[in-house]
C-alpha cells in the first residue's frame, strides 16, 4: 500500500489554513493542523472526528523558535518524514510608514516573513535527507504590487516572494519544490485580524483622511462578489502540491488575476496611475 504523505499547515485556526488542513486530510495527507492558540482547535477537531479525517492539532507559533522546533520534532519523531509544509500563518498591518512604530513593522515581518523562514529552516534538514518535499508559501497579490498604507504587509510579502524564488534553485537538486500562492481578497477573518497603526487611530493624524479612504476602499473590495472563499485557496494549494511540475506561482481569485494582468501589461507610471485612480482619486484625495 502506498505510504500516506505527511503535511504541516501553519495558521490552521481559521480561514485559508483551516480549509487547507481539512482539504489535505480529505485527500489522504496525514495533516498536522498547527495553530498558536490550541483553544481555537475545537471546530477542526470536531470535523476531523465526524469525518474520520487524519488530522492532528499541534501548537505552533511561527514567531517562537521553541514552539516551532518542538512541533517539528514531534512530527519527525512520530512520522519520520514531512512531505509538505504550507506556510500560511499571517496577518496584515495597516498604516502610513511615518505612523507605524518600528515594533509594529518588525512584528509584521516576524510573523509573515521570519515566521515562514523559521518553519522552513526547521523542516529543510528532513526534506533534504528524504530528498523530496514541497514547501508552499502563502504570499498575496500584495507580494507583487505596492498599495498605499500597506508598506509593512506588502514589504513582508515581497520579501517572502524574493526569498522563495531564490531558495528554489538551491533546493531543486534535493527534490524539494517551492511554490508561492498569491490570493486576492479572500473572505476569512483577515480583515477582523488586521491591525491598524496605533498612532494613525488618532483623529489628529495628518494621515487620518487618507487612512479612512483607503480602509473604506479595502472593505469594499472584500464585500465584492468577486472576492474568493478560503476553499478556493485550499483547492489551488492542493492542485499545486499534487502537480509533478508545479508553477512557481499560483494566483487565486479574479481580482488577483486582473491585478497581475495589469501589472504585466503596464509601465511603473501606468501602474501607479491605476492604483491612484482605484483607491485615491475616486474619493477625491488627490487631483487627477
Ligand atoms: N484573506 C485575504 O484576503 C488574503 C489575501 C492574500 C493573502 N492572504 C494570506 O493568507 C494567509 C492566511 O490568512 P487568512 O486570510 O486565512 O486570515 P485569518 O483567517 O486571519 O487567518 C490567519 C491565521 O494565521 C494565524 N497566525 C497569525 N499569527 C500567527 C503566529 N504568530 N503563529 C501562528 N499562527 C499565526 C492566525 O491565528 P490566530 O487565530 O491565533 O490569530 C490564523 O490562524 C495569510 O498569510 C495572509 O497574508 C490572505
pLDDT in tens, 223-265: 765 689 999 999 999 999 999 999 999 999 999 999 999 999 9
CA of 190 to the centre of ligand 1 (A): 6
- Tell me the pTM: 0.95
Per-residue model confidence (pLDDT) at position 285: 47
CB 227 near ligand 1, within 6 Å: no
CA of 230 to the centre of ligand 1 (A): 11
CB 15 near ligand 1, within 6 Å: yes
CB 239 near ligand 1, within 6 Å: no
The protein residue with its alpha carbon nearest to ligand 1, atom 1, reads 186
Per-residue model confidence (pLDDT) at position 287: 43
Per-residue model confidence (pLDDT) at position 227: 82
Q: Is the dihedral of CA 37, 39, 44, 45 positive or negative?
A: positive
- pLDDT band at 1, cuts 50/70/90? very low
The yes-or-no verdict on residue 215 having pLDDT over 80 is no
**pLDDT tens digits, residue range 84-127?**
999 999 999 999 999 999 999 999 999 999 999 999 999 999 99
CB 89 near ligand 1, within 6 Å: yes
Among the four given CATH numbers 3.40.50.720, 3.20.20.80, 1.10.10.10, 3.90.1580.10, the one describing domain 5-201+229-253: 3.40.50.720
The yes-or-no verdict on residue 200 having pLDDT over 80 is no
Catalytic residue among 30, 32, 153, 190: 153
Per-residue model confidence (pLDDT) at position 208: 86
Residue 52 backbone zone (phi > 0: left; psi -120 to 50: alpha; other: beta)? left
CA of 285 to the centre of ligand 1 (A): 31
- pLDDT band at 203, cuts 50/70/90? confident
* Nearest alpha carbon to residue 178 among 113, 134, 144, 141: 134
Q: Is 207 known to be catalytic?
A: no
> Which of 89, 92, 106 has most ligand 1 atoms within 8 Å of CB, for mutation?
89
Range with lowest mean pLDDT among 26-35, 183-192, 210-219: 210-219
CA of 263 to the centre of ligand 1 (A): 25
**pLDDT tens digits, residue range 259-282?**
999 999 999 999 999 988 876 655
The protein residue with its alpha carbon nearest to ligand 1, atom 37, reads 11
Per-residue model confidence (pLDDT) at position 209: 85
- DSSP per position, 212-249: HHHHHHHHHHHHSTTSB-HHHHHHHHHHHHH-SS--SE
- The three cell numbers of residue 38 are 490550541
pLDDT mean over 179-206: 89
* Nearest alpha carbon to residue 85 among 54, 36, 53, 125: 125
Other CB atoms within a 10 A radius of the CB of residue 222 amount to: 14
The protein residue with its alpha carbon nearest to ligand 1, atom 45, reads 90
Per-residue model confidence (pLDDT) at position 283: 52
CB 189 near ligand 1, within 6 Å: yes
pLDDT mean over 198-204: 80
CA of 89 to the centre of ligand 1 (A): 5
> Which of 40, 60, 67, 91 has most ligand 1 atoms within 8 Å of CB, for mutation?
91
**pLDDT tens digits, residue range 41-71?**
999 999 999 999 999 999 999 999 999 999 9
CA of 136 to the centre of ligand 1 (A): 14
CA-CA-CA-CA dihedral for 212, 214, 217, 221, to nearest 10: -130
Average pLDDT, the chain: 93
The protein residue with its alpha carbon nearest to ligand 1, atom 2, reads 186
Amino acid at each position: 500500500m502506498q505510504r500516506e504523505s505527511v503535511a504541516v499547515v501553519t495558521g490552521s485556526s481559521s480561514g485559508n489554513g483551516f480549509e487547507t488542513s481539512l482539504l489535505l486530510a480529505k485527500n489522504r495527507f496525514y495533516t498536522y493542523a498547527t495553530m498558536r492558540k490550541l483553544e481555537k482547535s475545537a471546530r477542526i477537531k470536531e470535523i476531523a472526528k465526524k469525518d474520520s479525517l487524519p488530522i492532528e492539532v499541534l501548537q505552533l507559533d511561527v514567531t517562537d523558535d521553541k514552539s516551532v522546533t518542538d512541533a517539528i520534532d514531534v512530527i519527525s519523531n512520530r512520522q519520520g518524514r514531512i512531505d509538505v509544509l504550507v506556510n500560511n500563518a499571517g496577518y496584515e498591518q495597516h498604516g502610513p510608514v511615518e505612523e507605524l512604530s518600528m515594533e509594529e513593522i518588525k512584528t509584521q515581518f516576524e510573523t509573515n516573513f521570519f515566521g515562514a523562514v523559521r518553519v522552513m529552516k526547521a523542516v529543510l534538514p528532513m526534506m533534504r535527507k528524504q530528498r523530496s518535499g514541497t514547501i508552499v508559501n502563502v504570499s498575496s497579490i500584495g507580494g507583487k504590487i505596492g498599495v498605499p498604507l500597506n508598506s509593512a504587509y506588502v514589504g513582508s510579502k515581497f520579501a517572502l516572494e524574493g526569498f522563495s524564488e531564490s531558495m528554489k534553485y538551491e533546493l531543486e537538486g534535493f527534490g524539494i519544490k517551492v511554490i508561492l500562492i498569491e490570493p486576492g481578497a479572500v473572505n476569512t477573518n483577515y480583515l477582523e485580524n488586521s491591525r491598524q497603526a496605533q498612532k494613525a487611530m488618532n483623529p489628529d493624524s495628518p494621515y487620518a483622511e487618507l487612512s479612512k479612504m483607503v480602509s473604506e476602499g479595502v472593505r469594499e473590495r472584500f464585500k465584492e462578489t468577486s472576492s474568493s472563499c478560503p476553499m478556493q485557496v485550499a483547492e489551488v494549494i492542493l492542485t499545486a502540491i499534487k502537480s509533478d511540475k508545479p508553477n512557481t506561482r499560483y494566483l487565486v481569485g479574479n481580482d488577483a488575476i486582473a491585478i497581475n494582468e495589469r501589472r504585466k501589461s503596464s509601465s511603473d507610471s501606468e501602474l501607479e496611475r491605476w492604483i491612484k485612480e482605484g483607491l485615491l482619486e475616486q474619493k477625491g484625495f488627490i487631483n487627477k
